Chains A and B, each alone.
Chain A
Amino acid sequence: MQKKWLHRIVALLAALFLTVPLLAQTQPVQAAANDTSLADIKKKGTLVMGTSPDYPPYEFLVNNKPVGMDIDIAKQIAKDIGVKLVVKQMDFDALLVGIETHKIDMVLSAMTPTPARKQSVDFSNVYYNSGQSIIINKTDKNIYKNYKNFANKKVGAQTGSLQYDLVKKQIKGVKMTGLTKVTDLIIALKTHKIDGIATESAVATAYVKNNPDLMVLNHQFNLSETDSGSAIAFHKGSGTLVAAANKTIAKIKKNNLTEKYLADAGKSLKVNVADTSMWHYRSYFIKGVGYTLLISLIAVLIGVVLGTLLALSRLSHFLPLKWLATAYVEFIRGTPLMIQVMFLYFGLNIPALTAGVAGVAMNSGAYVAEYIRGGIDSVPKGQVEAARSLGLSYKDTMRYVILPQALKIIWPSLGNEFISLIKESSIVSVIGVTDLIYQLRLVQAATYKGIAPYAVAMVIYFILVFGLTRLLNFAERKMQHA
């Protein structure tokens, strides 16, 4: 899996860092000249591993704890260095940025050391090479014997992944379908939108084991050395740390430990698929709902306060303040929320949840500011005059007379903002905040069920939004009454 657009974001972030002196300290500049990477890890006593735990048997969650072959290998490395392992969950897309910005020390996420990736990070030796496979529907087993049979057929693969490139290069006239998640590809295959899925053999085997309608064709494609295998990614210039990891990998290979790790992963998987009912996974969804509500609520509260200040600044006669507020509102509204959240998380040294809430709140503030400005503008001018003629200060006039009336006018818009916030806050899942979307992905990965978790999440979102709409309408009626 590799994302081209992500590299662009990294480039953009890097460019921004250079232009923002305050952030310069976080810019990854430590060159190889003085490699203290291993000593640094030993000094801080922890080895932080980033992974995207939706990829069994490499990494997945059992009872909300990350397990799998990659975790076992990482544990071994930490043990050999003599430090504690910390596992940080992130979207696959965000992992390399995490390394570049020192959020994490290494990545084990079934990552293939492609030449493109090698330009931005250092890789260990390959620790596992499972080969490439194609998953098909059992009913098609007489049509497809190997990858060459898929000429002019529809084949799916993860967007930007190694498999995607392999299919495109090695199957003639193939029609590609690219999706981000394997679980979504499985749905597409089962509903016959595609004829096969190209993926890692270990992953293919795990999925097929849990889907009796599917079967796997192993040892596909014409593979070169760089086209396969998984390796550990480190920050550029971490020679001593890479060497330490390679020592452990050599030991693992010598003792054939990967076989044991995979067997253990298989056992863990059975725990997950013993009961794949959505009810069994309710704790995942509850946690997701909790975070989604928490993020939305805090963000809307901060958003309203920030929005009010911005609106008053935009209406102010003090020009620098007015320009600053206008610039802020226009800039935030002119850039995608996802990039804002990623910028905050990777650009500043703050935890994912904080970055997620701050990003959503700052974004919301810009929109709320415009609602409030509109609301203030629509309060008749006579109200200000009456209040000021009584000797009320500007502050009291705003607080007691204008803002309450503006609030009543913009209440429906604010309600809409909160509702869309509940849905839009799902963006924070890219930096690993365990909101409803993130949890839904985990359930998909754990149960090998694609559609059911979507349905559950959809119903939950609907209940949240519908309940909230009722609540807001109730509040609105109360206000009208007043």
Chain B
Amino acid sequence: MPSMMIETKGLKKSFDHTEVIKGIDAQVQQGQVIVIIGPSGGGKSTFLRMLNMLEQPTAGTVTFEGQNITDLPANKLDTVREKMGMVFQSFNLFPNMDVLANVALAPQRVKGSSQKAASEQAMTLLDQVGLADKAHAYPASLSGGQQQRVAIARALAMGPDVMLFDEPTSALDPEMVGEVLKVMQGLAKEGMTMVVVTHEMGFARKVADEVWFMDGGVLAEKGTPEQIFDHPQNERTQSFLAKVLEQ
């Protein structure tokens, strides 16, 4: 029986009196790959960002590895976030340092690794995402796909228990989507727990253990890829998939 990694209960979020997340109860088990799909504005990203408190919920709780993290003070939250890697749509690499330093910064500052140990680990991770030769390049000189792979390596450097991906390929040129998805697929194969918000239906079908369909701030339907893609029950899931798969 795999253990519970993340659990949300009655999770709600409002921006300026507009409720965008209307109460979500969900669980992520250790080793699971969850792919969240749904129309834009359906609350997918907001939900994901509440999992590591980048957005503070208006109501409800998030429990991570048995600990309620909803109202943690800032310093305690930092130690929780170490264990939750996050990859952003716009990469958000630090432009003021080279690729190696991007990956090695947090282990040195947060975990107290020596510079040597952090650099060695960073090189290993960069090698894993196929970018060892770019270690001393600055982010601005890399393509979008390369930047996103560095961002993944940077998140992995903290040795997270779970990785959160917020539309990691949406800002990429089409020919670069593949290289990023390949790295993510490799991670999934190694047993990394992942929550991925994406529009890549192929990836969802191939890699996900569970697909969640979110629309209008609620978790409208969830199931295995086969259940969602081949036999969607919810009317909104059906119409969304019809539109997406038509293309």
A contact residues around B155 at 8 Å (CB): 389-390
Residue contact A390 to B94, C-beta cutoff 8 Å: no
Q: Which listed residue, B79, B81, B94, B97, touches A389 by the CB 8 Å rule?
A: B81
Q: Hey, what's the 0/1 contact readout for A373-388 against B, CB within 8 Å counting as 1?
A: 0000000101101111
With A391-B110, A392-B106, A392-B109 as contacts: A386 and B92 at CB distance below 8 Å: yes
Q: Which listed residue, B82, B90, B109, touches A400 by the CB 8 Å rule?
A: B109
Residue contact A382 to B74, C-beta cutoff 8 Å: no
Residue contact B138 to A389, C-beta cutoff 8 Å: no
Q: Give the B interface residue count (CB, 8 A).
A: 28
Q: Give the A interface residue count (CB, 8 A).
A: 20
Q: Which of B63-108 contact A (CB under 8 A)?
A: 74-75, 78-79, 81-82, 84-86, 88, 90, 92-97, 105-106
| CA A386 to CA B158, docked complex, whole Å | 13
Q: Which listed residue, A390, A396, A401, A405, touches B81 by the CB 8 Å rule?
A: A390
Q: Distance (Å) between the CB of B62 and the closest chain A CB?
A: 14
Residue contact A383 to B94, C-beta cutoff 8 Å: yes
B54 touches A (CB below 8 Å): yes
Q: Distance (Å) between the CB of A387 and the closest chain B CB?
A: 8
Residue contact A405 to B85, C-beta cutoff 8 Å: no
| CA A390 to CA B105, docked complex, whole Å | 9
A contact residues around B84 at 8 Å (CB): 389
B contact residues around A408 at 8 Å (CB): 96
With A382-B90, A482-B138 as contacts: A389 and B95 at CB distance below 8 Å: no
Residue contact A393 to B138, C-beta cutoff 8 Å: no
| Interface contact tally, CB-CB below 8 A | 71
Residue contact B74 to A401, C-beta cutoff 8 Å: no
Residue contact B92 to A385, C-beta cutoff 8 Å: yes
A323 touches B (CB below 8 Å): no
Smallest CB gap from A400: residue in B:
B105
Looking at A386, A388, A396, A408, the one whose CB has the most chain B CB atoms below 10 A away is: A386
Which A residues fall within an 8 A CB radius of B?
380, 382-383, 385-394, 396, 400-401, 404-405, 408, 482
Known: A385-B92, A388-B81, A405-B96; 20 extra A-B contacts, CB below 8 A, are A380-B90, A380-B92, A383-B94, A385-B86, A386-B86, A386-B94, A388-B78, A389-B86, A390-B82, A390-B85, A391-B106, A392-B78, A392-B106, A392-B110, A393-B75, A393-B110, A400-B105, A400-B109, A401-B96, A404-B96
Which B residues fall within an 8 A CB radius of A?
52, 54, 74-75, 78-79, 81-82, 84-86, 88, 90, 92-97, 105-106, 109-110, 138, 151, 154-155, 158
